[in-house]
């Protein structure tokens, strides 16, 4: 069958059910891979951070299936801007699977490094009165609304809860993001501390959408020894969550960055659309499906899907360096591939 005929056949039956998987077979495949990877690294178990989100919860459940609860160690790493629900739900996961865990409050460390003060200095270039009692987040325009460009905004709330939205120049955006990236890198330092003392490997938790689109911090949450769900679309992670018994309230919790002091969904910060529609667009692009077919399945306009296709491709190019190993003089050809 030709590539064109294959694409047409896929398009005819394309819909959310296209991403359905045999959960037990998938679990067995991932468990076998983890065991093989640990043997190759000569590691005894797995360390991961638990955020109370779906990806880390499924990853923890898979780790327990692979090496047993006694060989899994989890960390809760709240800081000044964290949602208290994240700690509560993370503990619920650890209790559900019988995993040893520890709370590492990274707030004082971040404050000492100037994470919050550096961020606030950049915010005050746009909102001079920003200070104690205020809250903030970074958001982008919604692609489904037909913008054509991802425009970043700073959203702030004063102590009375009144919100305002401010278009950010590049230097302010980069400064705010650079400061907040300290959070992911500090968490990873602690994960590797515990991994080193236990002779365990660090487990990373990105799903396929996050991994493909560079939704991670280099040497932060992007750093890991194994990434067992990076090949799974977000909806497939939810399928595994139900199969593995992840608590229902975690499965119903909207995906969040839990990075800024104002509540922030992942699509507000980075993705063009909610995860279920992004799954369909990413799958469609990966399998050569026409934007019109994906639009019908996702309940979008064709133009919106065409924009998302372009946005996915652009993010792949812009974040390719996040996946790259350090470049060496002897391997200068790697630099050419990044151009």
For the stretch 94-125, pLDDT in tens is: 999 999 999 999 999 999 999 999 999 999 99
Report CA 186 to chain centroid distance, whole Å.
Answer: 16
Whole-model pTM: value is: 0.90
Q: What does the block give as tokens for 41?
A: 């690294």
Given a cut of 70, is residue 76 above it in pLDDT?
A: yes
Please give the Cα distance from 214 to 319 (Å, whole number). 5
pLDDT at 149: 53
* CA atoms within 13 Å, Cβ hemisphere of 154: 26
Mean pLDDT of 228-252: 97
Higher pLDDT, 148 or 96: 96
- Residue 100, helix vs strand vs coil: strand
Report CA 144 to chain centroid distance, whole Å.
Answer: 21
Torsion angle of alpha carbons 51, 54, 55, 56, nearest 10°? 40
Pair 235, 274: CB distance under 8 Å: no
270 pLDDT band, cuts 50/70/90, is: confident
pLDDT at 152: 85
Nearest to 272 by CA among 229, 299, 304: 304
């Amino acid at each position: 069958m030709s590539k064109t005929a294959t694409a047409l056949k896929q398009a005819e039956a394309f819909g959310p059910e296209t991403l359905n998987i045999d959960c037990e077979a998938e679990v067995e495949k991932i468990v076998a891979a983890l065991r093989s990877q640990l043997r190759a690294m000569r590691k005894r178990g797995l360390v991961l951070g638990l955020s109370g989100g779906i990806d880390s919860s499924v990853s923890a459940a898979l780790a327990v299936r692979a090496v047993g609860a006694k060989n899994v160690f989890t960390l809760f790493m709240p800081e000044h801007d964290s949602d208290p629900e994240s700690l509560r739900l993370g503990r619920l996961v650890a209790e559900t699977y019988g995993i040893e865990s520890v709370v590492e409050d990274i707030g004082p460390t971040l404050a000492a490094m100037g994470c919050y003060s550096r961020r606030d200095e950049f915010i005050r270039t746009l909102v001079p009165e920003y200070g104690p009692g205020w809250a903030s987040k970074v958001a982008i325009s919604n692609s489904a609304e037909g913008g054509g460009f991802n425009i970043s905004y700073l959203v702030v709330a004063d102590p009375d809860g009144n919100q305002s939205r401010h278009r950010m120049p590049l230097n302010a955006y980069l400064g705010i993001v650079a400061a907040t990236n300290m959070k992911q890198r500090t968490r990873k330092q602690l994960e590797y501390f515990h991994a080193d003392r236990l002779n365990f490997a660090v487990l990373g938790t990105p799903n396929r959408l996050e991994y493909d689109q560079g939704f991670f911090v280099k040497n932060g949450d992007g750093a890991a020894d194994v990434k067992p769900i990076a090949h799974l679309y977000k909806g497939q992670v939810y399928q595994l969550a139900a199969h593995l018994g992840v608590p229902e309230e975690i499965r119903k919790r909207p995906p969040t960055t839990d990075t800024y002091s104002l509540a922030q969904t992942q699509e507000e910060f980075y993705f063009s659309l909610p995860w279920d529609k992004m799954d369909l667009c990413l799958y469609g692009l990966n399998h050569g499906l026409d934007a019109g077919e994906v639009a019908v399945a996702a309940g979008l306009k064709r133009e919106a899907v065409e924009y998302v296709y372009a946005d996915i491709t652009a993010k792949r190019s812009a974040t390719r360096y996040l996946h790259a190993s350090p470049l060496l003089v002897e391997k200068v050809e790697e630099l050419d591939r990044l151009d």
